[in-house]
Amino acid sequence: MNATDAVRFWDEMHAARTAATDPQPNARLTETVTGLSPGDALDLGCGDGGDALWLAGQGWHVTAADISAVAVERLAALARSHGLGDRVTAGRHDLRTSFPHGEFDLICAHYLHTPFNLDRAAVLRSAAHALRPGGRLLVVDHGSAAPWSWNQDPDVRYPSPREVAADIDLDAATWTVERADAPRRIATGPDGRTAEVTDHVLLIRRTA
Ligand SMILES: C[S@@+](CC[C@H](N)C(=O)[O-])C[C@H]1O[C@@H](n2cnc3c(N)ncnc32)[C@H](O)[C@@H]1O
């Protein structure tokens, strides 16, 4: 599978879903960010943009990146229609080869999973380096598969947050792990079904 396959896969995945008019933020984002002073945020693999729009509504200036032009164009249009066009910059990046420029106070990567090769550790290491001192990197991964997930591979293994942190391999003199756990929650699928799922949550803070 090559780069074109990945772009096509994700464009088709997004295009197959009705464009959301009011996408909701992820629960781990809102619980982590509520109470933080707004600054510059970066959303890696922004999808339908619920996180980027929520952050912008909280006063953050958000750079949102996704491999899919469908996702990026939908988010840009939504941000304008929500009156948040000046706070959201949505751009197409294939994170295998392109990382957004800038320094950030918050970088989030929610469910950045793909069936194509992606050196996530390298992407997340780039993210950690793009943080300003005091900034946070929030990585939320699936710890289980929801019944509506595209990935129903019974052999799939979900690395623990500590394993993800070990893969990123950051210098403890500059970055510290603030949270690494596996909370459960009730998730709602695209068709309204609900199911209990596990998240793998890793929160890293740049201290220097
Ligand atoms: C499972 S979805 C999660 C979307 C969103 N963060 C959320 O929480 O709903 C994964 C997202 O990553 C994007 N993606 C996959 N591979 C990527 C890559 N190589 N570079 C950038 N984005 C990618 C997909 O288009 C998709 O929007």
Would the CB of 114 count as within 6 Å of ligand 1? yes
What distances in angstroms separate CA 77 from CA 13, 67, 134, one per listed residue? 19, 17, 32
What pLDDT sits at residue 165?
Answer: 98
| 1-10, 56-65, 130-139: least confident range | 1-10
| Distance from Cα 73 to the centre of ligand 1, integer Å | 14
What is the token pair recorded at 90? 């949505």
What pLDDT sits at residue 2?
Answer: 65
Total domains, the chain: 1
1 has a pLDDT exceeding 70: no
Would the CB of 92 count as within 6 Å of ligand 1? no
| Distance from Cα 95 to the centre of ligand 1, integer Å | 10
207 has a pLDDT exceeding 70: yes
For the chain, give the mean pLDDT.
96
pLDDT in tens, 115-139: 999 999 999 999 999 999 999 999 9
| Rounded average pLDDT over 169-181 | 98
The pTM assigned to this predicted structure is: 0.96
Q: The CATH number of the domain where 69 resides is what?
A: 3.40.50.150
47 CA closest ligand 1 atom index: 27
What pLDDT sits at residue 208?
Answer: 93
99 has a pLDDT exceeding 80: yes
pLDDT confidence band for 149 (50 / 70 / 90):
confident
59 exposure class (CB count in 10 Å sphere: 0-12, 13-18, 19+): exposed
Would the CB of 32 count as within 6 Å of ligand 1? no
Structural domain harbouring 173: 3-206
| Distance from Cα 3 to the centre of ligand 1, integer Å | 14
**Residue whose CA is at the smallest distance from ligand 1 atom 1:** 111
Would the CB of 204 count as within 6 Å of ligand 1? no
